[in-house]
Amino acid sequence: AQSVTQPDIHITVSEGASLELRCNYSYGATPYLFWYVQSPGQGLQLLLKYFSGDTLVQGIKGFEAEFKRSQSSFNLRKPSVHWSDAAEYFCAVGAYGQNFVFGPGTRLSVLP
Amino acid sequence: DADVTQTPRNRITKTGKRIMLECSQTKGHDRMYWYRQDPGLGLRLIYYSFDVKDINKGEISDGYSVSRQAQAKFSLSLESAIPNQTALYFCATSDTGQGAMGGYTFGSGTRLTVV
């Protein structure tokens, strides 16, 4: 069965520090991989996506993610976090003809 | 105007009451979805529809029903609300032409509380 895990429920970083949010998946087909961000009181906004090709993908708001097939991972990174990045982040996996499977989310807090 | 609009934004209802959550979209997407979000559980799929005549159950459809009134409208009903249906509900859309690659467009959510 398809599954997505995000091992960190809550992460706190200082503003200006680097960030890495982890995502691991179990999926039978060749996966399409996504990261979404949910700001308080808002819906989910797509940050970036990976289908094929270069395993390092760039997204909006200065985020990037790296696909590692051998580790079944798609970790999200940002070199320098801003206070406005405080939100909940969801990793999702999909495939052609399949509905998305979402991870449980990681809540990011940013210290001034 | 938002691409995907959900109404109401917030709702408190009593146990046993029937309630309908509405979703409309201007994306022109043919696929629509209802998800439920609970803390620590992520988003779970309730129902999805690939066109007006195609309705499918998701992983947690018990206690819910849906209606696809038009390509742009997809409603979720709780026939007899119970407290454990208290959650944040999201509507989402996607485009068959892009398949999974297009990702989903989400509404802002409906926060439902059943007392």
A interface with B, Cβ–Cβ below 8 Å: 4, 9, 32, 34, 36, 41-46, 49, 51, 90, 94-100, 102-105
User: Is A43 in contact with B4 (Cβ distance < 8 A)?
Assistant: yes
The CA distance from B96 to the nearest CA of chain A, in Å, is: 9
Interface test with A, best of B54, B101, B110 (most A CBs within 10 A): B101
pLDDT digits (tens, 9 = 90+) for B39-53: 888 899 999 999 999
Chain B residue numbers touching A49 (CB-CB < 8 A): 101, 103
Q: Which stretches of chain B score pLDDT less than 70?
A: 1, 97-100
The tens place of each residue's pLDDT in chain A, 112 residues long, gives 788 999 999 999 999 999 999 999 998 777 889 999 999 888 899 999 998 888 899 999 999 999 999 999 999 999 999 999 999 999 999 877 778 889 999 999 999 9
Looking at residue A92, its pLDDT comes to: 93
In three-state secondary structure terms, A16 is coil
Residue closest to A4 by CA, chosen among A100, A112, A110: A100
User: Is some CB atom of chain A closer than 8 A to the CB atom of B70?
Assistant: no
Interface test with B, best of A8, A100, A101, A106 (most B CBs within 10 A): A100
Residue partners of B1: CB distance under 8 A and separation at least 6: B26
Looking at residue A40, its pLDDT comes to: 84
Tally of CA atoms within 13 A in the half-sphere of B31 that contains its CB: 22
**DSSP 8-state symbol, A28:** S
Helix, strand, coil abundance in chain A, percent, nearest 5: 10, 55, 35
In three-state secondary structure terms, B83 is helix
Of A45, A99, A102, the CB nearest to B48: A99
CA distance A107 to B2: 25
Token digits of residue B66: 């849906």
In three-state secondary structure terms, B73 is strand
Looking at residue A95, its pLDDT comes to: 77
Looking at residue A5, its pLDDT comes to: 95
Residue closest to B64 by CA, chosen among B42, B37, B82: B82
Residue closest to A63 by CA, chosen among A78, A80, A75, A81: A78
Looking at residue A100, its pLDDT comes to: 85
User: Is some CB atom of chain A closer than 8 A to the CB atom of B97?
Assistant: no
